[in-house]
Structure 1
Amino acid sequence: MPGVGLAVATTSASFLSAAAFSSALAIPLSGIPVSILSGLALKNTNVLPPSLMSSSAAPGLKLSTTTLLRAGIVCVGMKLSFLDLLTSGLVGIPVVVSAMSAGFLYIPWASQKAGLSKELGSLLATGTTVCGVTAITAASPIVKASKADTAVAVANVVAFGTLGMLSFPYLAHHLFLTSPGCGTFLGVAIHDTSQVLGAGASYAQIYDNDAVLKIAAVTKLTRNLFLAGVVPGLAIQYAPSEKSGGEKDGTKAPPMNLAASFVKYTPGFVLGFVGASLFRSAGDATLLHSGSAFGCLDGDAWKTVVSGVGTTASTALLGTAMAAVGLSTSKESLKGVGAKPFLVGGSGALVVGGTGCAAIKTLEYAGIFV
Structure 2
Amino acid sequence: MHPLLPRLLSLDLALPPLPHTLGLLLLVGIAIKNNGVVPLPESVKPGLTFATKTVLQTGIVCVAAKLSFFELLSTGSSGIPVVLGAVGAGLVTIPMMGTFAGLPRKMSLLLTAGTSICGVTAITALAPAIEAEKRDVAVAVANTVAFGTVGMLAYPYIFNALCTSSEQVGMCLGVAIHDTSQVLGSAMSYRETFDDEIALRVAAVTKLTRNLGLAIAIPMLTFIHKKEVGAGEVKSSYEDTMSGLATFKKYVPPFLVAFIGMAGLRSTGDLIMDPEVNQLYFEAVSFVGSDLSKYALGTAMAGVGLSTDAASLKGVGWKPFAVGGAGALIVGGTGFTIASMIV
Q: TM-score, normalised by structure 2?
A: 0.89
Partner deviation per Cα, 1:248-297 (whole Å, 9 max, x = no partner) = xxxxxx9x99998445521110011111111111111112xxx26xxxx9
Q: Are positions 1:278 and 2:278 aligned together?
A: no
Deviation at residue 174 of structure 1 after TM alignment? 1.5
SS at match of 1:50: coil
**1:50 alignment counterpart:** 39
Work out the number of aligned pairs and report it: 321
Q: How big is the alpha-carbon RMSD for the aligned residues of Structure 1 and Structure 2?
A: 2.1
**Distance in structure 2 (CA, Å) of the matches to 1:29 and 1:183:** 19
**Distance in structure 2 (CA, Å) of the matches to 1:60 and 1:257:** 34
Q: Are positions 1:267 and 2:260 aligned together?
A: no
Structure 1 runs, 4 residues or longer, greater than 6 Å off: 256-260
8 A contact 1:126–1:136 mirrored in 2 = yes
**1:13 alignment counterpart:** none
Q: Are positions 1:327 and 2:313 aligned together?
A: no
Q: Are positions 1:241 and 2:241 aligned together?
A: no
**1:93 alignment counterpart:** 80
Deviation at residue 235 of structure 1 after TM alignment? 2.5
**Distance in structure 2 (CA, Å) of the matches to 1:134 and 1:220:** 13
SS at match of 2:132: coil
Equivalent position to 1:203, from 183, 190, 209: 190
Amino acid at match of 1:316: Y
8 A contact 1:142–1:234 mirrored in 2 = no
Rg larger in structure: 1
8 A contact 1:107–1:125 mirrored in 2 = yes
Q: Percent identity?
A: 48
Amino acid at match of 2:39: P
**2:340 alignment counterpart:** 361
Equivalent position to 1:176, from 134, 159, 163: 163
Q: Are positions 1:40 and 2:26 aligned together?
A: no
Equivalent position to 1:150, from 105, 130, 137: 137
**Distance in structure 1 (CA, Å) of the matches to 2:29 and 2:211:** 26
**Distance in structure 1 (CA, Å) of the matches to 2:237 and 2:184:** 49
**Distance in structure 1 (CA, Å) of the matches to 2:280 and 2:338:** 39
**Distance in structure 2 (CA, Å) of the matches to 1:267 and 1:139:** 9
**Distance in structure 1 (CA, Å) of the matches to 2:172 and 2:144:** 17
Equivalent position to 2:20, from 30, 43, 56: 30
Instruction: Provide closer, same or farther for how the CA distance between residues 261 and 237 of structure 1 changes in structure 2, counting only shifts above 3 A.
Output: farther
Structure 2's unaligned 5+ residue stretches are: 1-14, 227-232
**Distance in structure 2 (CA, Å) of the matches to 1:31 and 1:327:** 16
Q: Which has the higher contact order (CA 8 A, sep 6+)?
A: 2
Q: Are positions 1:345 and 2:324 aligned together?
A: yes
SS at match of 1:353: helix
Amino acid at match of 1:203: Y
**Distance in structure 1 (CA, Å) of the matches to 2:54 and 2:186:** 32
Q: TM-score, normalised by structure 1?
A: 0.82
**Distance in structure 1 (CA, Å) of the matches to 2:111 and 2:321:** 9
**Distance in structure 1 (CA, Å) of the matches to 2:129 and 2:150:** 29
**Distance in structure 2 (CA, Å) of the matches to 1:108 and 1:259:** 28
Structure 1's unaligned 5+ residue stretches are: 1-18, 246-253, 364-368
Instruction: Provide closer, same or farther for how the CA distance between residues 306 and 42 of structure 1 changes in structure 2, counting only shifts above 3 A.
Output: same
Equivalent position to 1:160, from 143, 147, 157: 147
